[in-house]
C-alpha cells in the first residue's frame, strides 16, 4: 500500500502540519554532512523490523516543529535539521512512532514495528488528511482490510457495531437491499425510511444516493461500491468535522477512500470466497394429523353447535392421505442459496506514476425463490507526477447490478414472507392451478431490476510555492447511472386474474467541480494553515414509466397491444444545481494548543430566490496535554492525552427539486374529452419561504493513549439540535390543496460515546489479542411541532413534544377480565361494556383501556403513545486472537433500550375475524361468524369453518390462553369464530423488548507463509460464519429483533436474515 500511504501522509504532514522547510526526497546514496543556509542535512533509511523490507512514505519530522520530509520508494530520506541536538520523529500508518536523536550521526538507519495505536494514524477529513492527534472534531476511522473475510454486497453490513454513535440496521435479508444508517440519533420525521443517513464522500467527491434513484427505493447505493476496492472509511460525526461539506452534512459524513497503486513491479492480487446461504427459521407449525387434532380441539373449546355441525370434510375425512404426508408450504418459498465473491487486481508503478486496476464479481442467491443480487465491477486508479510540482489522480469506476427483489404489486401473496394468514393448511392437496396461484409472482413473474453506474474523477494538485507553502487543487467528477425495471405478472398470480407488464427507466447524471487553495507556513513555534475554495454541482434526472394491464396472454411480458383504458404512462425531467464557497483556518502553537474555524456558504436551486443561500460556520480547539513538560515523567504510562471541543452548524436540503413551485402535468382525464394540461397540487402549496434545515451541535471529547500505546480510549459527549425540519401537514379538501410544507419541527439528540482499542498482550508474546470495543448512548426528543406544538397523530405513530420520534400509537392492554366483577359497566345504561363489534364483553376477553372515556373501547381511536423504537444504547465488540499463522476474528453488535412491535406474532394470534380476504372484484374486507372468506391458496370462497380448516395453524402450545373460569393466563381467549377483538395488532400486548446481543461474524484464518518460496505472498485461507447467533430477552418472541423496520415494526412478512458459511482464499504475486 506504499502509494496509498504516500497520499495519506502527504495530506497529513505536508498539508495540515504546515511544512514550510521540507527538502525534496533524495534517492541517492547518503552524503556527508552538508551545510545549507546554516542547517545540517541528515540522510537515512527506514525498514520494517519484522520483514526487513524498506518502508516508503514514512513521515520524518523535526520534533517540536512542522519541518519534515517523506521516505522514497526505497525507504530513503533526506532532511535538514538546525543542529545536532535535534530529535527526529518517524511516523507511519499502523506503525509505532519512533524518536531518534541526531547527535553525531549523519546517516540513520531506522527500524519500525507495527502496532494498533490509533492517535498517530492518518485520518481523512474534509479536503485533507491529518494525523489523528491533530483532529479537532469527532472522527472515527476504519480500515477496510480489517473487515475482509465478511461476505456482503456492501460495506455498511460489515460495519455493524464497529463505529461508536453509528447505528446500522439490516432490516431485510434481501441481497442488495437497503439498510438503515443513523449517525448520533434520528432526526427525520417524514422521509421514506424515517432515518438519518449520512452524506457519502467517495474519493473526495460528495455523492448523493439519489443519483442512482435509491433515495426512495429499497435498493442500497453502497452496493455499487465493491468493498474490496475500499482502503479506509472515516466517519465525521460532529458538526465541526462535517460542516465543511455544508448542506448535505447535517447527518454526518462517511468518507470512503479507495485503494491506489503500489510502487514497484506489477503485482497481481486475488481474493475469492464461496459459500452457502441458509434459509431463515420459519414458524413452528402443526403438521398433518397433529394439525387436524389441534383444530378439532379448537372447535370443541370455542365452537358453538352450528360450528361443530359445519365441521369441514378436510378435518373429518379419516383417510385423507395428507394426515401422514403433510406439506409445509413454507418450503415452496424458502430455499438455501450460494454466494460467490471474486476479485482480481493488478497494481504497480514507480515514483512518477502508479496504477491499480481491478475487477470484481459478486453473486448472492436469495433465500426466497426468485430473488438475488449480482454485481460486475471495474475500477481503475492512476497517479501521475508531472515534474516536481504537479500531481494528477485519475479514477474511473463502472459497475452493473442485477437485482431480483421480492415480488410485490397486486399479487395474492404480496411479500408473503412468513405471514401465516397467507399460508394454506398442510392438510391440503393443492392442484397445479392452486400452486401456480401461490407461486405465480415468484416463479412465473419477471422482476428484472438492473442498473449501471459509471464514475469519472480527475484531481490535480499543483505546488505554487515549493514545500506545500501554497498549493492549488482542482477536482472534477462525473457520475451517470441508468436503472431499469421490467416486470410482468401472469393473471394466475393476481386476485383479479389480471396479467400486467411494467417498464420503468431512469437516467441520472451529476457533475461536481471543486477548486481550492491551501496555504501552510511556520513561524517558529507557530503553525498556520488556510484553505479557500469553491464548488459547484448539478443533477439531472430523466425518468419514464409505462404499465399495461389485462394483457392478451400470460406469455406476453412487455407492454404491447394494450387498450388505452388499461394503459398508464408518464415521463419527466428534473434538474437541480448548487454552488458553494468555503474556507478554513487552523493555528497550532508549540504542537499542543490549537484552534480552528471554518465557514461554508451554499446556494441551491431547490429553494425560492429569497431563501436560496445558507451559511454554516464552525469553531473548534484542542489541548494536547501530553506534550506539556509536566507530563514528561508519565510518558511510559500516558503517551498521549488530548482534550478537544467543537461547535458547528450544518444544513439540509429538501428531497424534492421544485418545492417552491406549483407544478403542472398532463392529466389522463379531462373536462372536454381531449388532451389537456391541468395544474397538479399533489405536492402541496408552493413554498417560496421554505428555507434550510439547520443542525447546531457541540461536542466535547478526550483522546487518551496509555501503557506505551497498547490501549487507546476515545470519549465524546454531544448535543445535536436540528431546527426547521421539513414537514408537511394535511389541509382540508375545501382548500383546494392536499398539504402544506413548512420548517416547523425541531429534534434534539444528546448522548455519550466511548471507544476502546487495546493490544492486550505485549508485542513480544507469541499470542496476540486485539480488541476494538465501543458503546454509545443517545436520547432522542422532539422539541417543536407545527401549529403551536400540537400533537401529530398518524396511523401508526405519534409526534409529540417531549417524546421521541416515531412513538408507537397503540392500544393499552391491561390484561384479562378474569371474572364478572372486573367487567366495567356503562354508567348511562347500566349494561356491560361493548367492544367495537357491538358485543358485550365477557370473562376471558382482553381488557383494553378506554382512552377517551366514552365507555366503549374502539381500536382506531382509543390509542396513546406507548414505547420507543429508537435504541438508547448501541455498540459492538470486535476482537482478533492470533498465534503464529492462525487467527480468529469475532465481530458482535448490540442494541439496548428499544421497543419493537411484533406484528408477526399478532398475525399468528389473530382469530379468523381479524383476517382479511378479497371479494370477487379484489376489494379487501373482513367479516364475522358465518361470513365468506377467500382462501389465499386457491382464491375460492369458503364459510368461516372451512376457512379455519384450510389455513395453516401455528403451534402455540407453549403459550397459555384463557379457556374457562379460574384460568389465570398470559393471553385472553383465542376463539376462531368470535369477533371479540382480543388480539389487537397495534396494541401493547405485542410490544416487546427489542434489545439484543448479536454474534455477527466468526472467521478462522490461516496464513500460508510457506508459499512465499514460490513467489506467492500474503496467502491466506479463511473459514467464515455470518449471522451466527443472537441473544435476546426471554420475553421477546420475535425470532430476530435486529430484523426490524426503521420505525420498530417486526412485520414477519419481510425477508429474514440468512446465515452464511463461506471459505475464502487470498494471495498476490
For 301-319, what is each residue's pLDDT tens digit? 776 666 666 677 777 777 7
Mean pLDDT of 5-14: 36
- Per-residue pLDDT band at 199 (split at 50, 70, 90): confident
Per-residue pLDDT, 393 = 92
pLDDT at position 444 over 80: no
For 22-53, letters b (16+ CB in 10 Å) and e give: bbebbeeeeeeeeeeeebbbbbbbbbbeeeee
- The closest alpha carbon to 541, from 203, 177, 214, belongs to 214
> How far apart are alpha carbons 177 and 218 in whole angstroms?
6
CA atoms of 714 and 705, how far apart (whole Å)? 9
User: Would you state the pLDDT for residue 414?
Assistant: 42
The mean pLDDT value for 665-691 works out to: 56
What pLDDT is attached to residue 597?
A: 94
Quote the pLDDT of residue 209: 66
The percent of residues above 90 in pLDDT, for the chain, comes to 29
Q: Which of 453, 344, 336 is nearest to 402 (CA)?
A: 453
Query: Does the pLDDT value for residue 523 go beyond 80?
Result: yes
Name which residue leads in pLDDT, 99 or 307.
99
Confidence of residue 948 (pLDDT cuts 50, 70, 90): low
- pLDDT at position 2 is 41
Straight-line distance from the first to the last Cα atom of the chain, in angstroms, rounded to the nearest whole number: 14
Q: What is the pLDDT of residues 565-579, one digit of tens each?
A: 788 888 888 899 999
CA distance 222 to 959: 42
**Choice between 1004 and 1017, residue whose per-residue pLDDT is larger:** 1004
Looking at residue 38, its pLDDT comes to: 47
Q: Which residue has the cell 412478512?
A: 1053
Q: Is the pLDDT of residue 376 over 60?
A: yes
Q: Residues with Cβ < 8 Å from 905, sequence gap 6 or more?
A: 990, 1037, 1038, 1052
Q: Is the pLDDT of residue 637 over 70?
A: yes
Which one has a higher pLDDT value, 275 or 963?
275
Show the cell assigned to 835. 367492544
Q: How many CA atoms lie within 13 A of 798 on its CB side?
A: 22
> Tell me: the pLDDT tens digits for 31-83?
333 333 447 889 999 988 766 677 877 889 888 776 788 888 778 898 988 88
Please report the pLDDT score of residue 903 as a whole number. Answer: 84
pLDDT at 503: 85
Task: List helix spans (H) across 426-511.
Answer: 432-439
| pLDDT band at 15; cut points 50, 70, 90 | very low
Average pLDDT over residues 542-563: 80
Joined together, the cell numbers standing for residue 530 give: 488556510
Q: Which residue has the cell 507530563?
A: 631
**Cα 816 to chain centroid, rounded:** 41
- pLDDT tens-digit map of 207-260: 866 544 444 445 677 888 888 888 888 888 888 888 888 777 888 888 888 888
Cβ atoms 1062, 275 nearer than 8 A = yes
- In the three-class reduction of DSSP (H, G, I as helix; E, B as strand; rest coil), residue 468 is classed as helix
Phi, psi of 111 (to 5 degrees): -110, 135
Q: Where do the structural domains in the chain lie, given as residue ranges?
A: 2-114, 128-262, 819-862
pLDDT digits (tens, 9 = 90+) for 398-439: 999 888 877 653 333 344 444 566 677 888 777 676 666 666
**Strand 128-131 to strand 122-125: parallel, antiparallel, or no bridges (unpaired)?**
antiparallel
In CATH, the number for domain 128-262 is: 2.170.130.10
Longest CA pairwise span in the chain (Å) = 111
Taking only the tens place, the pLDDT of each residue in 591-627 is 899 999 999 999 999 888 888 999 999 999 999 999 8
User: Which fold does the domain 2-114 belong to in CATH?
Assistant: Immunoglobulin-like (2.60.40)
DSSP 959-1011: S-B--STT---SB----SS-----S-SSBGGGEEE--EEEEEEEEEEEE-GGG
Q: Which residues pair with 508 in a beta bridge?
A: 481, 541
Which pLDDT belongs to residue 18? 32
Q: What are phi and psi of 766, to 5 degrees?
A: -65, -30
- Among 260-264, 444-448, 817-821, the range of highest mean pLDDT: 817-821
pLDDT for residue 360: 95
- Flag the least confident range among 408-422, 869-883, 1013-1027: 408-422
d(CA 843, CA 839): 12
* pLDDT over threshold 60, residue 929: no
> Which residue, chain included where needed, has cell 425540519?
725
List Cβ neighbours of 781 (8 Å cut-off, separation of 6 or more). 747, 748, 749, 802, 803, 804
pLDDT score at 776: 97
* Topology match between the domains 2-114 and 128-262: no
pLDDT at residue number 641: 94
**pLDDT score recorded for residue 665:** 53
Stretch (H or E) spanning 1004:
strand 996-1007
Contacts with 463 (C-beta within 8 Å, 6 or more apart), sequence order: 388, 389, 390, 470, 471
- Which range scores top for mean pLDDT: 85-99, 602-616, 911-925? 602-616
Structure confidence at residue 263 as a pLDDT band (50, 70, 90):
confident
pLDDT surpasses 60 at 936: no
Is the pLDDT at 16 greater than 50, yes or no?
Answer: no
DSSP 769: E
Residue 128 buriedness (CB in 10 A; 0-12 / 13-18 / 19+): buried
In 3D space, the residue among 640, 644, 757 whose CA is nearest the CA of residue 701 turns out to be 644
Cell readout for 695 is: 443542525
Q: Which percentage of the chain shows pLDDT scores above 70?
A: 81
With contact defined as beta carbons under 8 Å apart, do 409 and 452 qualify? no
Mean pLDDT estimate for the chain: 80
Do 818 and 843 touch, CB atoms closer than 8 A?
A: yes
d(CA 142, CA 3): 19
For residues 602 and 181, the model is more confident at 602
| pLDDT on residue 462 | 92
DSSP letters along 296-339, please?
Answer: HHHHHHH--HHHHHT--HHHH-TT-GGGTS---THHHHB--EEE
Are the beta carbons of 749 and 187 closer than 8 angstroms? yes
Instruction: Tell me which residue of 401, 513, 515, 392 sits closest to 454, measured CA to CA.
Output: 401
Give the distance, in angstroms, between the CA of residue 48 and the centroid of all CA atoms in the same chain: 38
Task: Identify the helix (H) or strand (E) that includes residue 289.
Answer: helix 289-302
Contact 536, 601 (CB under 8 A): no
What's the confidence (pLDDT) of residue 284? 83
Among residues 295, 277, 274, 154, the alpha carbon closest in space to that of 214 is found at: 154
Amino acid at each position: 500500500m506504499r502509494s496509498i500511504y504516500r497520499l495519506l501522509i502527504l495530506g497529513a504532514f505536508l498539508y495540515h502540519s504546515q511544512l514550510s522547510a521540507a527538502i525534496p526526497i533524495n534517492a541517492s546514496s547518503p552524503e556527508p554532512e552538508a551545510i545549507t543556509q546554516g542547517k545540517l542535512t541528515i540522510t537515512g533509511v527506514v525498514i520494517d523490523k519484522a520483514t526487513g523490507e524498506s518502508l516508503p512514505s514514512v513521515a520524518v519530522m523535526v520534533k517540536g516543529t512542522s519541518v519534515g520530509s517523506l521516505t522514497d520508494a526505497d525507504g530513503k530520506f533526506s532532511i535538514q535539521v538546525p543542529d545536532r541536538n535535534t530529535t527526529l520523529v518517524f511516523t507511519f500508518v499502523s506503525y509505532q512512532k519512533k524518536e531518534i536523536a541526531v547527535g553525531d550521526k549523519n546517516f540513520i538507519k531506522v527500524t519500525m514495528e507495527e502496532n494498533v495505536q490509533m492517535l498517530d494514524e492518518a485520518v481523512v477529513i474534509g479536503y485533507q488528511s491529518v494525523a489523528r492527534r491533530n483532529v479537532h472534531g469527532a472522527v472515527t476511522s476504519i480500515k477496510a482490510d480489517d473487515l475482509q473475510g465478511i461476505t456482503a454486497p456492501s460495506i455498511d453490513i460489515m460495519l455493524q457495531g464497529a463505529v461508536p454513535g453509528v447505528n446500522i440496521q439490516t432490516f431485510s435479508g434481501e441481497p442488495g437491499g437497503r439498510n438503515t444508517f443513523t449517525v448520533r440519533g434520528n432526526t427525520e420525521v417524514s422521509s421514506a425510511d424515517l432515518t438519518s443517513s449520512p452524506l457519502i464522500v467517495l474519493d473526495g467527491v460528495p455523492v448523493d444516493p439519489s443519483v442512482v434513484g435509491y433515495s426512495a427505493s429499497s435498493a442500497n447505493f453502497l452496493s455499487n461500491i465493491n468493498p474490496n476496492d475500499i482502503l479506509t472509511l472515516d466517519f465525521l460525526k460532529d458538526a465541526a468535522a462535517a460542516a465543511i461539506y455544508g448542506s448535505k452534512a447535517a447527518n454526518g459524513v462517511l468518507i470512503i477512500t479507495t485503494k491506489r497503486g503500489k510502487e514497484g513491479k506489477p503485482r497481481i492480487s486475488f481474493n475469492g470466497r464461496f459459500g452457502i446461504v441458509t434459509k431463515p427459521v420459519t414458524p413452528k407449525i402443526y403438521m398433518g394429523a397433529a394439525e387436524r387434532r389441534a383444530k378439532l380441539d379448537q372447535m370443541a373449546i370455542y365452537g358453538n353447535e352450528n360450528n361443530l355441525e359445519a365441521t369441514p370434510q378436510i378435518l373429518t375425512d379419516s383417510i385423507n392421505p395428507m394426515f401422514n404426508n403433510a406439506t409445509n408450504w413454507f418450503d415452496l418459498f424458502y430455499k438455501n442459496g450460494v454466494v460467490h465473491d471474486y476479485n482480481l487486481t493488478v497494481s504497480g508503478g514507480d515514483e512518477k506514476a502508479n496504477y491499480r486496476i481491478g475487477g470484481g464479481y459478486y453473486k448472492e442467491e436469495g433465500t426466497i425463490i426468485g430473488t438475488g443480487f449480482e454485481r460486475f465491477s471495474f475500477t481503475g486508479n492512476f497517479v501521475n507526477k508531472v515534474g516536481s510540482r504537479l500531481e494528477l489522480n485519475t479514477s474511473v469506476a463502472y459497475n452493473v447490478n442485477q437485482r431480483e427483489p421480492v415480488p410485490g404489486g397486486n399479487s395474492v401473496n404480496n411479500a408473503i414472507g412468513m405471514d401465516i394468514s397467507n399460508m394454506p393448511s398442510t392438510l391440503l392437496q393443492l392442484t397445479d392451478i392452486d400452486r401456480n396461484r401461490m407461486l405465480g409472482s415468484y416463479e412465473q413473474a419477471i422482476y428484472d431490476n438492473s442498473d449501471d453506474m459509471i464514475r469519472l474523477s480527475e484531481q490535480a494538485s499543483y505546488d505554487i510555492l515549493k514545500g506545500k507553502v501554497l498549493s492549488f487543487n482542482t477536482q472534477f467528477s462525473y457520475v451517470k447511472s441508468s436503472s431499469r425495471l421490467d416486470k410482468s405478472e401472469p393473471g394466475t398470480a393476481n386476485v383479479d386474474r389480471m396479467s400486467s407488464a411494467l417498464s420503468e427507466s431512469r437516467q441520472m447524471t451529476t457533475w461536481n467541480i471543486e477548486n481550492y487553495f491551501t496555504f501552510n507556513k511556520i513561524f517558529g513555534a507557530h503553525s498556520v494553515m488556510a484553505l479557500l475554495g469553491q464548488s459547484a454541482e448539478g443533477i439531472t434526472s430523466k425518468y419514464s414509466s409505462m404499465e399495461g394491464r389485462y394483457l392478451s396472454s400470460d406469455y406476453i411480458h412487455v407492454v404491447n397491444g394494450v387498450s388505452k383504458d388499461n394503459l398508464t404512462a408518464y415521463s419527466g425531467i428534473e434538474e437541480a444545481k448548487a454552488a458553494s464557497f468555503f474556507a478554513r483556518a487552523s493555528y497550532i502553537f508549540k504542537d499542543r494548543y490549537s484552534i480552528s474555524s471554518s465557514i461554508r456558504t451554499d446556494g441551491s436551486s431547490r429553494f425560492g430566490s429569497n431563501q436560496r443561500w445558507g451559511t454554516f460556520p464552525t469553531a473548534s480547539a484542542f489541548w494536547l496535554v501530553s506534550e506539556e513538560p509536566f507530563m514528561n515523567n508519565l510518558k511510559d504510562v500516558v503517551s498521549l492525552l488530548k482534550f478537544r471541543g467543537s461547535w458547528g452548524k450544518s444544513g439540509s436540503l429538501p428531497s424534492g427539486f421544485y418545492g417552491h413551485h406549483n407544478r403542472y402535468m398532463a392529466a389522463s382525464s379531462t373536462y372536454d374529452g381531449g388532451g389537456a394540461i391541468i395544474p397538479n397540487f399533489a405536492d402541496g402549496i408552493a413554498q417560496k419561504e421554505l428555507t434550510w434545515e439547520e443542525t447546531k451541535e457541540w461536542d466535547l471529547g478526550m483522546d487518551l493513549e496509555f501503557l506505551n500505546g497498547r490501549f487507546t480510549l476515545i470519549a465524546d459527549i454531544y448535543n445535536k439540535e436540528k431546527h426547521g425540519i421539513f414537514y408537511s401537514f394535511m389541509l382540508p379538501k375545501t382548500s383546494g390543496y392536499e398539504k402544506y410544507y413548512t420548517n416547523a419541527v425541531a429534534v434534539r439528540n444528546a448522548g455519550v460515546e466511548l471507544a476502546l482499542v487495546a493490544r492486550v498482550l505485549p508485542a513480544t508474546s507469541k499470542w496476540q489479542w486485539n480488541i476494538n470495543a465501543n458503546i454509545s448512548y443517545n436520547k432522542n426528543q422532539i422539541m417543536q411541532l407545527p401549529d403551536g406544538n400540537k400533537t401529530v397523530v398518524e396511523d401508526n405513530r405519534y409526534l409529540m413534544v417531549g417524546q421521541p420520534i416515531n412513538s408507537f400509537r397503540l392500544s393499552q392492554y391491561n390484561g384479562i377480565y378474569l371474572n364478572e366483577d372486573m367487567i366495567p359497566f356503562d354508567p348511562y345504561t347500566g349494561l356491560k361494556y361493548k367492544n367495537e363489534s357491538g358485543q358485550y364483553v365477557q370473562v376471558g376477553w382482553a381488557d383494553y383501556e378506554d382512552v377517551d372515556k366514552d365507555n366503549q373501547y374502539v381500536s382506531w381511536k382509543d390509542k396513546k403513545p406507548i414505547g420507543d423504537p429508537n435504541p438508547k444504547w448501541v455498540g459492538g465488540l470486535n476482537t482478533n486472537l492470533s498465534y503464529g499463522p492462525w487467527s480468529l476474528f469475532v465481530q458482535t453488535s448490540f442494541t439496548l433500550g428499544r421497543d419493537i412491535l411484533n406484528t408477526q406474532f399478532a398475525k399468528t394470534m389473530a382469530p379468523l375475524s381479524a383476517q382479511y380476504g378479497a371479494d370477487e372484484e379484489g376489494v379487501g374486507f373482513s367479516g364475522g361468524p358465518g361470513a365468506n372468506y377467500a382462501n389465499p391458496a386457491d382464491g375460492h370462497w369458503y364459510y368461516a369453518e372451512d376457512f379455519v380448516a384450510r389455513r395453516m395453524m401455528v403451534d402455540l402450545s407453549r403459550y397459555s390462553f384463557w379457556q374457562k373460569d379460574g384460568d389465570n393466563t398470559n393471553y385472553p381467549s383465542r376463539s376462531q369464530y368470535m369477533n371479540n377483538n382480543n388480539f389487537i395488532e397495534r396494541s401493547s400486548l405485542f410490544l416487546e423488548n427489542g434489545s439484543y446481543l448479536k454474534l455477527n461474524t466468526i472467521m478462522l484464518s490461516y496464513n500460508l507463509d510457506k508459499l512465499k518460496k514460490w513467489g506467492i505472498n500474503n496467502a491466506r485461507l479463511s473459514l467464515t460464519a455470518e449471522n451466527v447467533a443472537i441473544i435476546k430477552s426471554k420475553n421477546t418472541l420475535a425470532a430476530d429483533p435486529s430484523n426490524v423496520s426503521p420505525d420498530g415494526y417486526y412485520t414477519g412478512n419481510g425477508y429474514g436474515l440468512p446465515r452464511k458459511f463461506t471459505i475464502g482464499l487470498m494471495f498476490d504475486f
